[in-house]
Each structure stands twice: as C-alpha cells, then as structure tokens.
Amino acid sequence: MGRLDGKVAVITGGVKGFGLASAKVFIREGAKVVITDVDEKGSADALKELGNENAIFVKQDVSKEAEWEPVFAAAEEKFGTVNVLLNNAGILFFDDAEHVTLDEWHKILSVDLDGVMLGVQTAIKHMKKNGGSIVNISSIAGLIGIPNLYAYNAAKGGVRMLTKSAALYCAEKKYAIRVNSIHPAYAHTPMVDAYPEKLKELESLHPMGRLGSAEEIANMALFLASDESSFSTGAEFVTDGGYTAQ
C-alpha cells in the first residue's frame, strides 16, 4: 500500500528539479499527478519518466491568475478531486540591495511569491469541501538573510509567512486543509547547477559538506502530502544539511 494511494497532486515546476523528483516519489507511492511548467518542450521527457497513465502535463505560468483554474480543471477531468498542491515553481538569480533593478525584483516576486499566493488561493477553493494538503517550497532564504539573494530573500520570506497565514485561516474556517512550507538549502537542481563556478563555495556553506539532492527534498514533500503529517499545519520544515544550525 502506497503512502499516497488514491490522492491526486498538482505539482508546479514539475518538468525538472524538485518538481520532477517529487512527481516520481508521489507516483511511486500511489498518487496521480499533474505537472505544470512553462517548459512545454521538456514535458515530453518528463512524462516519459513518469508514465503517461500516472501523469499529465499542463503548460502554466504560475504568475498569471488566469492559468490556475485550467490546471485544476484538467486534474479533475483526468484523475478526480485534487488532494495535494505542491507549489514548487520558482526562479533564482543573484542580486543585492544596492544594484537590483525593479524589473529583476518584479520578475522574482511574480513567480516565487505571487505564483504561490495564486496557487494557495485556487487550492483552497477546490479543497475546502474535501480537505487536502498544500505544500509550499520556500528556502533557507526564507529563514535567514543572504546578501546576494536580495529579491529571492524577500520572496521566500513572503512564502514562509503566507503559509502560516493561510494555515491559520483554513483552521479558523474549519477547512480540513493543511498548509506547510519546506525550506531547502542549496541542492542539485538545474536552478543551482546553472552556476558551476559557485559549486565549491556553496558546498562549503553546509556542515554536511555537500549540496542536497532533489530526491531528499521530494521525500519531505511526500511526508507533508501524506496523511502521516495530519497534525502539521502552518509549520516550516528545514532540509538544509545543517546550514541554519550554525
């Protein structure tokens, strides 16, 4: 018996990185998944890995409000009621408080914060009758300041607090919806591996001496998506190789 038997999950940014790793783990544990991404070209390879009987792809820009309802409609039409939303889609680039441009600021926040807000709002609408689990991928950058991740710090800190507010709201309304955030440190994903010149420096920041893997983050997402985490809401789950313990 799988840990997610009978569940239907929507995973944003599902073509690669944490999203694809989570989709694989979710399917292995019995779920059906809808992966979304702006990367339509990469979706064919992702679906080949996942198996077409277990997953579908919907092209989506999470920062656009009009593109959220079609995702849930496609999930419900193909697999039934959505039980899990993994708000994973995100972008990253290095900037700082003195030199960031307004366009760069808006680009990061539109995907990394606005996209999560829209996902939470849409998921509550679709889950409030039958319940579910919303899992938001934040970051250690949502817990501590990092001088060269100015806009990303702001977005991920916003995700952390948005999660707590939504969790309390759902509890107050007696919706059986749990909302939690995951806070990874640097891990091997296309977003981080795009900066190979920083690899040694990034590894040295973690007491465990290495970056995390996408699968290690996916395992935390699995726990929060499953009924095993039934008493956890409004909480932050850190997967950082000891980074924030220092």
Each residue's pLDDT tens digit, 130-140: 999 999 999 99
Domain membership of residue 246 (yes or no) is no
Q: What is the largest CA-CA distance in the chain?
A: 53
Contact present, 230 and 197 (Cβ < 8 Å): no
pLDDT band with cut points at 50, 70 and 90 for residue 126 = very high
Domain membership of residue 1 (yes or no) is no
Strand partners, 59: 37
Catalytic residue among 152, 175, 195, 243: 152
Q: How far apart are CA 112 and CA 162, in angstroms?
A: 12
Domain membership of residue 2 (yes or no) is no
Domain membership of residue 206 (yes or no) is yes
> Looking at residue 190, what is its pLDDT?
84
Domain membership of residue 245 (yes or no) is no
> Looking at residue 195, what is its pLDDT?
85
Domain membership of residue 225 (yes or no) is yes
Q: Residue 187: enclosing H or E segment and its boundaries? A: strand 187-188
Domain membership of residue 185 (yes or no) is yes
How does pLDDT run across 36-86, given as a tens digit for each residue?
A: 999 999 999 999 999 889 999 999 999 999 999 999 999 999 999 999 999
Q: Which of 205, 120, 109 is CA-nearest to residue 157?
A: 109
Contact present, 203 and 148 (Cβ < 8 Å): no
pLDDT band with cut points at 50, 70 and 90 for residue 194 = confident
In this structure, what CATH number is given to the domain that contains residue 143? 3.40.50.720
191 vs 189: which has the higher pLDDT: 189
The alpha carbon of residue 104 and the mean position of all alpha carbons in its chain are separated, in whole angstroms, by: 21
Give the number of domains in the chain. Answer: 1
Instruction: Give residue 100's domain range.
Output: 8-239
CA distances from 168 to 10, 82, 162, 175 (A): 22, 21, 10, 10
Q: Does the active-site annotation cover 195?
A: no
Domain membership of residue 158 (yes or no) is yes
Predicted model pTM: 0.96
Q: Residue 134: enclosing H or E segment and its boundaries? A: strand 132-137
